[in-house]
Amino acid sequence: MFALTLGREGASLLEHFSRHLLWYAAIFGSFTSTVFLGMALVAALRYWLRARGLRQATASVPPENLPAVSILKPVHGLEPRLEETLESFFRQDYPDFEIIFGARHEQDESLPVIAKLRAKYPQVRTRVVISGDPSWPNAKVFSLAKMMGSSDNSHFVISDSDILVGRDFLRNVVPPLLDPQVGLVTCLYRGIPANDVWSQLEALGMSVEMPAGVMVADMMEGMKFALGAAMAVRRDAIDAIGGMREAAQFYSDDFVLGNLIAAAGYRVVLSHYLVGHVLVGRSLRRTFGDQLRWMKSTRFSRPWGHVGSGLTYAVPFGVLALLLGLGNHHHLRLGEELFGLAWVNRMVLALAVGWRLARDRRCLWLCWLYPLRDLLGFCIWAISFTGNKFFWRGEPYQFGEEGRITPVQRSIEFVRDRVPQAHD
């Protein structure tokens, strides 16, 4: 009888301790997410002030001082709105540029779209480089190395096929490279969704969560990475790190490229210019899979930073507090207040970063929906700590140390001192 009573008391004490621990977690998470909101607002103001100076500086560069540029555009298959996104690069108001497309095979479904645009804009110099089956872990970097090797220019702009830009894109991102101390310029981007719910949520994350994290990182330690949506880079900076092959072992090749260029002594500049990231209609499964792949990449390449990023979310801690309050009516008001604080926290972030800074109008009338994106992001973050396998462009891979990737079904012959040869 004594043992039974002691067992009940022990279970009661354990339950009491667990409940208090959960309350502490909810309060602490609410505090850290509020701190992050404050940092994001300060970082956004800092970015806005610096962007004004960058915009004025780029506008003052005479056209005759602008260097010739090669736009490197890897393509893979027929994506929705592909013609629209690619055409935005043909329409650049820039004195001297060419577009180099890179495809793996001559049967790639994107090539007829490219042929149509080449016929529509005969004045734009273009060519297509067929890379063949990649022998490097990262197929895109393998293609980029061939594309870069086919050009005589010293200035490049690397951009994904689903990026939409204005006519003044090159005119704004290239001029900072005239400073020999600047090796790379990278751009923030806003999400452009399809009509389905899941791409709407993902686009909100692109317009709010991504810029907020980048601006805070820039404020705290400077730009030491790049964003693959749009990067302007000089050949001497690429040569200084040993060539594109140095990023070929990583899924986050853009991050690694910026990191290596910064480590080589060059400055990485966060441009004032924002580009659009076009999303396709997608299911929850595809949305979940894409974001889980990105999260896993961060987990392996920046493990401690990835762990700490869990404390920047707000809504999960508000939900936890609300559930605890519903379980104990004495603390119901506290739970409701923390939940309300979390919801308002993310709405303010959506308005300040997404609407005012990223100029995504949807963030004005969908700011009430962004907290759901915050909750979904936290769930994906938690699941990202499981497993090391992922699918990318229809191929299975697995993550290794420092974010290196290995194809599961494709053999590789990765030679660090050999650049693959290109053919048109």
- Picking from 256, 282, 281, the residue whose alpha carbon sits closest to that of residue 137 is 256
Share of the chain above pLDDT 70, in %: 93
Checking if the pLDDT of 6 tops 90, the result is no
Checking if the pLDDT of 13 tops 90, the result is no
pLDDT at 313: 97
- Picking from 380, 372, 320, the residue whose alpha carbon sits closest to that of residue 346 is 372
Checking if the pLDDT of 422 tops 50, the result is no
List the chain domain ranges: 46-58+65-292
Pairing of strands 155-159, 182-186: unpaired
Distance CA 106, CA 19 (A): 61
Cβ partners under 8 Å of residue 372, min gap 6: 201, 315
Residues 305-352: pLDDT tens digits?
A: 899 999 999 999 999 999 999 988 778 999 999 999 999 999 999 999
List b or e across 278-291, with b for residues whose CB sees 16 or more CB atoms inside 10 angstroms.
bbeebeeeebbebb
* Bigger pLDDT: 409 vs 270: 270
65-69, 173-177, 185-189, 393-397: the lowest-pLDDT one: 393-397
- The pTM of this model reads 0.90
- Picking from 374, 182, 189, 345, the residue whose alpha carbon sits closest to that of residue 261 is 182
Pairing of strands 267-270, 69-74: unpaired
Amino acid at 90: F
46-58+65-292 fold: Spore Coat Polysaccharide Biosynthesis Protein SpsA; Chain A (3.90.550)
Positive/negative CA dihedral, 307, 346, 159, 292: positive
pLDDT at 284: 79
Checking if the pLDDT of 365 tops 60, the result is yes
Residues 111-167: pLDDT tens digits?
A: 999 999 999 999 999 999 999 988 899 999 999 999 999 999 999 999 999 999 999
